[in-house]
Structure 1
Amino acid sequence: MSLPPNAAAVVFDLDGTLIDSADDLGAAANRLLASEGRRPLTPQEVRRFIGDGSRVFVDRTWAATGTPADGSDGAQGLDSLVARFIAEYQSDVAGHTRAYPDAVETVARLKSAGLAVAVCTNKPQRPAELVLEALGFAPHIDAVAGGDRFAHRKPDPRHLLDTLALLGVGSDRAVMVGDNEHDMAVAHGAGTGAVLVSYGYARLPLAEIEADARIDSLAALPALLGL
């Protein structure tokens, strides 16, 4: 699908698209690891592990630093570790997290131009809401769909379709903006336009990710949408 000529809604991914949250995610993970006598993650590992939600992030963290969370040597169950990680992260979601350049301003411009704006993220709902509030995005966003709001999450297209339902906008008049392969896959699966940013946490080479358009800065998005 190409970008709709009359877009009524823009849906953003969060981590790696609107915000650079790797430092705070890594800090929360490393506090948890330290409490269990494990080595810290490197910044490179943190960035590779981001994008699939807290459960997968913690599972990758545990597997990378010793016995996996479902191991037989007394390792705590994954559910317990995920709950502890979320509590650690939620206690300081924006200590070192920053909005990417022009991100807040672009979201505000889209909203002021009459478009509906939402966030569709695999980050849990409450931390997502907290960081959007802390960094000044919240007044310009109509809906937030975290990874635990629905029974499915990216790359399942139903995550994006249910987000659009919150806005009351059909997929043929919507654009998904993200930084990785999951964001573009969910856009294609849901039938929305797909815009890939050139920064963020993609695990595949950007040239291998199919998108309708590519931008180096969110500042380029309004013109791309004809605003």
Structure 2
Amino acid sequence: MNGLAVFDLDGTLVDTAPDLIDTTNVVLARRGVPAMKAADLLPHVGLGARAMIDATLLAAGITLPDAEIDACHAEFLSHYGERIAKLSRPFPEMLDALATLEGAGVGLAVCTNKREANAKALLSAFGLLDRFRFVAGADTFAVSKPDPGHLTMTIDNAGGTVDRTVYVGDSRVDVMTARAANVPIVGVTYGYTDVPMTALDPDRLLNRGDDVGAAILELMGCLTV
């Protein structure tokens, strides 16, 4: 294996925002909460279901008891699991990158704060799961991003080494994780983040249509063999 490329999932490999935003609005509409516009909720998507629920409630000026928010979260997970790939689609740039990396003998893995079962279900829906050596979700280990252990344990389980790995992500949390794990990161500008990727200084900054696979291989060429 000529190195390892580890990918975040939501907003990096797959454009999952439409399903996540729709699920948030459906669950909260049952409680009389007005729907939040997709553009306004998008920066919160990468922070998880709780953050999306909290942001929608705050925008509406509505306060719910903690127990009710817990119920919203449980309903979110159930509803989302039933329609996980209804509106979501892989980013074309990433499909091209996977093919480029596989052709170069680079191993592939996923490290996401999505629950492992949901991550695997989403990848399976697009016929992508078998292409990855290991898929780590938020509940796979005792820690999750931004704890660097989430990434380093993903690398270990995928048969890679930290000094021959490149991470690919779209958010502040991804950059924090990669930096803490001492792994170079390719940052994409089109994902879901509360801080623009342009302000986070990744090792490579890519826009829509850029060659992700080439950027990863270029970074790997700079690493110590």
What TM-score do the two structures reach when normalised by structure 1? 0.86
Residue 34 of structure 1: aligned partner = 29
- Contact preservation (8 Å) 1:52, 1:154: no
Residue 3 of structure 1: aligned partner = none
Residue 210 of structure 1: aligned partner = 201
Residue 148 of structure 2: aligned partner = 157
- Contact preservation (8 Å) 2:169, 2:175: yes
Provide the C-alpha distance between the structure 1 equivalents of 2:53 and 2:113, rounded to a whole number of angstroms: 13
Aligned length: 218
Provide the C-alpha distance between the structure 2 equivalents of 1:59 and 1:124, rounded to a whole number of angstroms: 19
Structure 1 residue 67 corresponds to structure 2 residue 58? no
Provide the C-alpha distance between the structure 2 equivalents of 1:156 and 1:218, rounded to a whole number of angstroms: 30
Q: Alignment partner of 1:33: what SS? A: helix
- Contact preservation (8 Å) 2:116, 2:139: yes
Provide the C-alpha distance between the structure 1 equivalents of 2:77 and 2:8, rounded to a whole number of angstroms: 19
Per-residue CA deviations over 1:67-97 (Å, capped at 9, x if unaligned) read 34446xxxx4433221110111111011111
Residue 45 of structure 1: aligned partner = 40
Structure 1 residue 125 corresponds to structure 2 residue 116? yes
Q: How far is 1:189 from its partner? A: 0.6
Residue 14 of structure 1: aligned partner = 9
Q: 1:117 to 1:68 in 2, by over 3 A?
A: farther
Residue 96 of structure 2: aligned partner = 105
Letter in 2 for 1:108: A
Residue 114 of structure 1: aligned partner = 105
Q: Which runs of 5+ in 1 are unaligned?
A: 1-5
Provide the C-alpha distance between the structure 2 equivalents of 1:110 and 1:216, rounded to a whole number of angstroms: 19
Q: How far is 1:7 from its partner? A: 5.8
Per-residue CA deviations over 1:168-205 (Å, capped at 9, x if unaligned) read 22211111101111111111110111111121122223
- Alpha carbon RMSD of aligned pairs, Å? 2.2
Q: Which structure dedicates a bigger proportion of its chain to helix?
A: 2
Residue 158 of structure 2: aligned partner = 167
- Contact preservation (8 Å) 1:54, 1:123: no
Q: 1:159 to 1:78 in 2, by over 3 A?
A: farther
- Contact preservation (8 Å) 2:167, 2:178: yes
- Contact preservation (8 Å) 1:172, 1:192: yes
Q: Alignment partner of 1:214: what SS? A: strand
Residue 199 of structure 1: aligned partner = 190
Provide the C-alpha distance between the structure 2 equivalents of 1:69 and 1:163, rounded to a whole number of angstroms: 37
Q: 1:151 to 1:218 in 2, by over 3 A?
A: farther
Q: 2:86 aligns with which of 95, 100, 110?
A: 95
Per-residue CA deviations over 1:126-174 (Å, capped at 9, x if unaligned) read 2211111112321211111111222222112111111112112221111
Q: How far is 1:209 from its partner? A: 0.5
- Contact preservation (8 Å) 1:16, 1:201: yes
Provide the C-alpha distance between the structure 2 equivalents of 1:7 and 1:214, rounded to a whole number of angstroms: 23
Q: Which runs of 5+ in 2 are unaligned?
A: none
Per-residue CA deviations over 1:27-51 (Å, capped at 9, x if unaligned) read 1111101111111121023212111
What pairs with 1:137-152 in structure 2 (closer than 5 Å)? 137-152=128-143
